[in-house]
């Protein structure tokens, strides 16, 4: 399901940017859909949704409480530019089956705006999204778009404007949380691929408590996200998990936080990979997993 605010209305995120993109879609619990215009906030320079009001001027619905007014003329111009279909980048073929899900499309567009220019980082992100789509059968139907969305977003914390604690799982998660991406996406990003182990050795364990649901660390969604990330190389190509470990230790070095926690983190990731592979086998044979194994954290 799509992340929702407490009032039940589902919204997309704001993101840094300097030009308007395609219109967002707001979906109420009753299923009504309406496009939501976006524009760049002149104060914080983030691409934000515009909230209509009963009187002009409309106000920015900015997560940074800028609450700046946008003239009706500017809104009309922004709406026109945002409606152009060429603004929407195509989804890779491997995730096209889930591309009709607004959550997946929004996640891909946000990730592209934030890290699309980071070369191999973006190639890795695309590969992880493809990998997540390929193992989507390992999670309940309702969570498959959540899995692929989290895959697109798992590394957005590398974007310079998002850096708060210089630890990309938390930087990305805090941004998503502030931008009203409801559970479970921020928590999955915070904990992806055993991030809790690295956070602890870096003195950031207390910040992980902002995302403390068990399902963020173990269960079909967390396991499948770890599988997708840890079986995809830095260039986006599939890679065996043991080769991924070797590559990671080589890149980060023997004294890095990743190396310090490897003896604890690696077994957790291997276990997540095994569980995901078992769920895929069960899905192919029609075996019904137990309620615990098939638990979901979607609202």
pLDDT tens column, 234-281:
999 999 999 999 999 999 999 999 999 999 999 999 999 999 999 999
Q: Which of 87, 120, 142 is the last residue of a domain?
A: 87
What is the separation of C-alpha 82 from the centre of its chain, rounded to a whole number of angstroms? 22
> Residues 277, 143: one domain?
yes
> Residues 263, 131: one domain?
yes
Q: Is residue 202 part of a domain?
A: yes
User: What pLDDT is stored for residue 289 in this prediction?
Assistant: 54
Q: Is residue 228 part of a domain?
A: yes
Domain count, the chain: 2
Q: Which of 54, 87, 120 is the last residue of a domain?
A: 87
Q: Which of 69, 87, 105 is the last residue of a domain?
A: 87
User: What pLDDT is stored for residue 117 in this prediction?
Assistant: 93
> Residues 140, 266: one domain?
yes
Q: Is residue 1 part of a domain?
A: no
> Residues 70, 125: one domain?
no
User: What pLDDT is stored for residue 160 in this prediction?
Assistant: 92
User: What pLDDT is stored for residue 48 in this prediction?
Assistant: 56
User: What pLDDT is stored for residue 62 in this prediction?
Assistant: 54
> Residues 196, 231: one domain?
yes
> Residues 44, 69: one domain?
yes
Range of the domain at 148: 93-285
Q: Is residue 70 part of a domain?
A: yes
> Residues 100, 68: one domain?
no
> Residues 55, 166: one domain?
no
> Residues 161, 140: one domain?
yes
> Residues 172, 191: one domain?
yes
> Residues 129, 74: one domain?
no
Q: Is residue 196 part of a domain?
A: yes
- Name the stretches of the chain with pLDDT < 70: 1-100, 288-299
Q: Is residue 177 part of a domain?
A: yes
Its pTM stands at 0.68
Q: Is residue 293 part of a domain?
A: no
> Residues 72, 118: one domain?
no
């Amino acid at each position: 399901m799509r992340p929702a605010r407490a009032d039940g209305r589902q919204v997309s995120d704001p993101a840094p940017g300097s030009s308007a993109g395609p219109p967002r879609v707001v979906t109420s619990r009753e299923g009504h859909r309406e496009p939501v215009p976006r524009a760049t906030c002149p104060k914080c320079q983030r691409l934000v949704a515009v909230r209509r009001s009963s009187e002009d001027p409309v106000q920015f619905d900015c997560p940074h409480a800028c609450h700046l007014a946008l003239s009706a003329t500017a809104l009309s111009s922004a709406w026109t530019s945002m409606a152009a279909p060429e603004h929407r980048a195509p989804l890779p073929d491997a995730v096209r089956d889930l591309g009709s899900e607004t959550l997946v499309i929004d996640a891909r567009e946000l990730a592209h705006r934030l890290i699309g220019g980071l070369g191999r980082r973006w190639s890795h992100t695309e590969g992880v999204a493809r990998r997540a789509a390929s193992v989507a059968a390992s999670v309940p139907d309702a969570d498959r778009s959540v899995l692929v969305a989290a895959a697109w977003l798992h590394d957005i914390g590398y974007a310079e404007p998002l850096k708060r604690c210089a630890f990309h799982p938390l930087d990305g998660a805090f941004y998503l949380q502030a931008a009203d991406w409801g559970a479970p996406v921020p928590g999955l990003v915070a904990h992806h691929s055993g991030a809790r182990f690295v956070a602890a050795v870096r003195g950031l364990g207390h910040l992980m408590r902002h995302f403390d649901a068990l399902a963020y660390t173990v269960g079909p969604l967390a396991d499948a996200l770890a599988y997708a990330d840890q079986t995809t190389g830095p260039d986006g190509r599939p890679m065996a998990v043991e080769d991924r470990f070797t590559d990671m230790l080589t890149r980060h070095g023997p004294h890095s936080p990743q190396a310090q926690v490897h003896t604890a983190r690696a077994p957790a990731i291997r276990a997540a990979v095994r569980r995901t592979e078992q769920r895929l086998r069960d899905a192919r044979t029609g075996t019904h997993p137990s309620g615990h194994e098939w638990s979901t954290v979607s609202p």
